[in-house]
Structure 1
């Protein structure tokens, strides 16, 4: 296995571990916090995908990651195929399209991109579920009881896990770029 394939395998494994930790956080920590009204959704996989998107230059690879991991996320957590399968590649291509505006990758840029992506993803899921008549929640209840707590929880997790995840994502990309 050459170096490029090892790095791609490492990126896929990195995303799969984040996918697993999403479910683990939901089960271990948030089951006691999610009540009838408040619903917190951990999005560690989205954080990892955004960090990798900021560093991957190949748009075909980004679309492949977005579609595959969106499909896995939909089939495992939602049961409705299409929510993450559509929205995740859109987020990744949007970040790839506008990353030339970023002068340097740092915590502030990554946090703002993660915050905007998370807001877009959760709002898109709510909109698609409303169109498919899978939810009867009003927009104000969604913002108050789902979007707000989800953003707060994920920003706190971002601050806690930023340094190790950022170092790992840089390591997964650095050697492959140097070996071209």
Structure 2
């Protein structure tokens, strides 16, 4: 049963993102702002930081593919960016010490990299035509604020959950 806890958590976060977009009013945080929740990706980065690089990248690839299949017309954007940013986060951890503040900063920077990467890919293939400055004000800052709040609220519970997961993996 413990083996299914992590995939179920990530699936729940995947569904929670969809529910957030569907049920939270668009003008809640101001007129004409676009807010993209990346709760799943934040949890994937926490998995990479607190458990292992290998597990984090594998889950990131699986859920990146799922994200592309469900939400995006083009398969490959999230399939590439989720594991790539998780890999970069693991490499940054080789330089820095692993603690709460570093984990929070790496996760927020990872979400920022994901957002900019998705914008650049969309701009490259002409899915979006807004300029970068408008994108920063319209989507980047509001998205980063929402996800930073999520990261600050969930860092401790997710760390505890991932520590229990590691203990269960060692016991097997």
TM-score computed with the length of structure 2 as normaliser: 0.89
Match in the other structure for 1:136: 129
1:163 is displaced (CA, Å) by 2.6
Match in the other structure for 2:150: 157
Please, which runs of 5 or more residues in structure 2 have no aligned partner? none
Q: Distance in 2 between matches of 1:97 and 1:78?
A: 28
2:16 matched to 1:21? yes
Q: Distance in 2 between matches of 1:34 and 1:17?
A: 24
Across the aligned residues of Structure 1 and Structure 2, the Cα RMSD in angstroms comes to 2.0
Runs in 1 of length 4+ with deviation above 4 angstroms?
Answer: none
Work out whether residues 61 and 83 of structure 2, in 8 Å CA contact, stay in contact via their aligned partners in 1: yes
Q: Distance in 1 between matches of 2:39 and 2:4?
A: 19
Distance 1:68 1:104, change over 3 A: closer
Deviates more, 1:160-169 or 1:139-148: 160-169
1:158 is displaced (CA, Å) by 1.9
Aligned residue pairs total 172
Work out whether residues 7 and 176 of structure 1, in 8 Å CA contact, stay in contact via their aligned partners in 2: no
Match in the other structure for 1:65: 59
Match in the other structure for 2:71: 77
Q: How does 1:105-124 map to 2 (within 5 A)?
A: 105-106=99-100, 108-124=101-117
Q: Distance in 1 between matches of 2:103 and 2:75?
A: 28
Give the secondary-structure state (helix, strand or coil) at the position aligned to 1:33.
Answer: helix
2:33 matched to 1:38? yes
1:176 is displaced (CA, Å) by 1.4
Q: Distance in 2 between matches of 1:36 and 1:162?
A: 30
